[in-house]
Homo-oligomer: A and B are copies of this chain.
């Protein structure tokens, strides 16, 4: 189509100077009209002077802002700041709700049954609330949102996924989901990418209105930028946000979106950091899960192949996880009882599943063997700690302070290997089950933590082996299991989502640049294993299950799709314009079709395509024509005007027709 579009523009450019002049005149008149509207609308309102003064000031501010940089840059900055503010507000509310639950649970110490009820009913009610609220306000708000964003970014128009009601439902629902805590074990980043695109789409509409334009030129760019902002303001990690935005595109990333992405992501990350600093959580701007690995010898060069083996392990683990996930998606869609329950009683289903999960994680039963008392943030920071658990658990004399040692929960049962293994075994099916809940929830962070647990188990084992003098001399630094946990987290989450940005995210989340090379290596190896054999990724499976029109996902399960001939998708030919078409034909075509671009052919008989013309240009053409007709009608004071073309009668112009046309045009402007 490119070529044809160029030919079209070439034809247009032949009358270039005239067009530019016309365009300028039109712009000026529109600007004048808008100023008029700003100062003179609704004369019955009070304080006319002060209102007009305020409006004049606003217009002047807008001019000054516009001269500094384009209006869209303000939109990008606002997008970053707004999303970061939403993210911070959510973190604040979730932390308060989680603390309330912990306080209630600790107050009931000694009453086993009451503690059980408190442990289970709190998340049950929250997830039921989340489900019913989001489903009743906007059913599209359930799930992660990343598959939908991918589909929208690939060019498919899905307006109901970007509405403001969806934004509201998803935001409130997500707070409830996250407040249910590590029992439900769901994350935040996926829905935040979705929330960010909704904010972006709304800001884009606002920006379009502010600039007084009719077409939304920057919508595509805004959504790409919003994807970067979502990740950046969720974790305060701008660069991995941009990489995520590159990866989430279906085939090509436009370089013109590159700077806006960085700009908005930096605004978002900076705002997020500053807000959490001002709220007293951090003394200065630092990484969300700041670690303190040893700088002088972070890892031995011999450990590099070991990191690659960890990557292989994580890749294999991701295949198992993805298989289970695909199986449960299929099971839910084929099991008759579940279909019935999920179609009518979604909240009940959520409550039942969460009750099951909460019962299993109850700290006085099986929960004590899987560190279920820790929140999601505590889980991650305990897994990433650089000190070795096993050496600590052997020193029985040292009394473990829960505040100083975040990992004390892991070794309270005696053997951290068993705890980690049990955690991995249980969380696998619990996580797969939690993914079926029909509420707004992210699936990245749980997977990231699961990978960290795999890496931790691997690293602890390796540290134990090396401490017992198998291959490293004991005078030097011990092996750091936290590094393995970090590499495992990046590799596993990268393999599950078939992306590489988790490697950079792991670095930005912890500020641990020393481990860049092994983390990247493990992620690459895990990805290679996970992508082999054209298996769909986590998001691909969701896209297919939700029947979203996302071509790359569909191609993975149905490779024959790429050989479908174009003839099978050709729609019926709409109305076309002849090159020699006059105003009447143009009006007729405009009435019969609603496309924004109308094809132009040489003659109606030959149907040879010359190019296409914009609907708005045709309307301007008609407007000028009608101005002529208007002038003639006014001068002649006639009631009607017969119009001929080359002598042949082609139509009649009457005053009512003229009025209707002008009203239409005014509506459009």
Contact = CB atoms under 8 A, between A and B. Distances in A.
A509 to B, nearest CB: 10
Interface in A56-105: 69
A274 B252 contact: no
Contacts of A2: 1-2
A295 interface: yes
Nearest to A277: B301
A516 to B, nearest CB: 7
Interface string A498-542: 001001100110011110110011001001100010000000000
Interface stretch (A282-290, A331-339, A345-353, A637-645): A282-290
Contacts of A563: 13, 16
- The residue in A7, A297, A304, A516 that gathers the most chain B C-beta atoms within 10 A of its C-beta is A516
Contact of A285 (B6, B238, B517): B517
A366 interface: no
A448 to B, nearest CB: 18
Given A1-B2, A287-B513, A513-B508, A247 B238 contact: no
B524 A266 contact: yes
A251 B252 CA distance: 10
A246 B243 CA distance: 10
A418 interface: no
A565 interface: yes
Interface residues of A, number: 73
A304 B271 CA distance: 11
Contact of A239 (B14, B516, B532): B516
A113 interface: no
A43 interface: no
Contacts of A1: 2-3
B255 A565 contact: no
A532 to B, nearest CB: 8
A4 interface: yes
Given A13-B565, A266-B517, A270-B521, A283 B255 contact: no
Interface in A29-70: 69
Given A7-B566, A566-B6, A247 B258 contact: yes
B266 A284 contact: no
A663 interface: no
Interface in A107-138: none
A556 B255 CA distance: 16
A9 interface: yes
Interface string A292-310: 1001111111001000000
A273 B500 contact: no
B277 A520 contact: no
- The residue in A9, A11, A285, A296 that gathers the most chain B C-beta atoms within 10 A of its C-beta is A285
A174 B511 CA distance: 35
A237 to B, nearest CB: 8
Contacts of A511: 513-514, 516
A571 interface: no
Given A3-B566, A259-B527, A566-B7, A298 B284 contact: yes
A399 interface: no
A514 B263 contact: no
A238 B3 contact: no
A636 interface: no
A273 B520 CA distance: 14
A661 interface: no
A647 interface: no
Given A1-B3, A512-B513, A10 B285 contact: no
A69 B529 CA distance: 10
Interface string A249-282: 1111111101100110010011001100100000
Q: Which 7 A-B pairs have the closest CB atoms?
A: A10-B565, A10-B566, A252-B252, A511-B513, A6-B566, A253-B253, A513-B513
Interface of A: 1-4, 6-7, 9-11, 13-14, 16, 69, 238-239, 243, 246-247, 249-256, 258-259, 262-263, 266, 269-270, 273-274, 277, 283-287, 292, 295-301, 304, 500, 503-504, 507-508, 511-514, 516-517, 520-521, 524, 527-528, 532, 563-567, 608
21 contacts: A6-B566, A7-B566, A11-B565, A13-B563, A14-B565, A16-B563, A238-B520, A239-B516, A239-B520, A246-B246, A246-B258, A247-B255, A252-B255, A266-B520, A270-B304, A274-B304, A283-B296, A285-B299, A285-B304, A286-B298, A508-B513
Given A283-B296, A284-B299, A511-B516, 14 more contacts: A3-B4, A11-B565, A13-B565, A16-B563, A238-B520, A239-B520, A251-B256, A252-B255, A262-B500, A263-B524, A274-B304, A284-B300, A286-B514, A511-B514
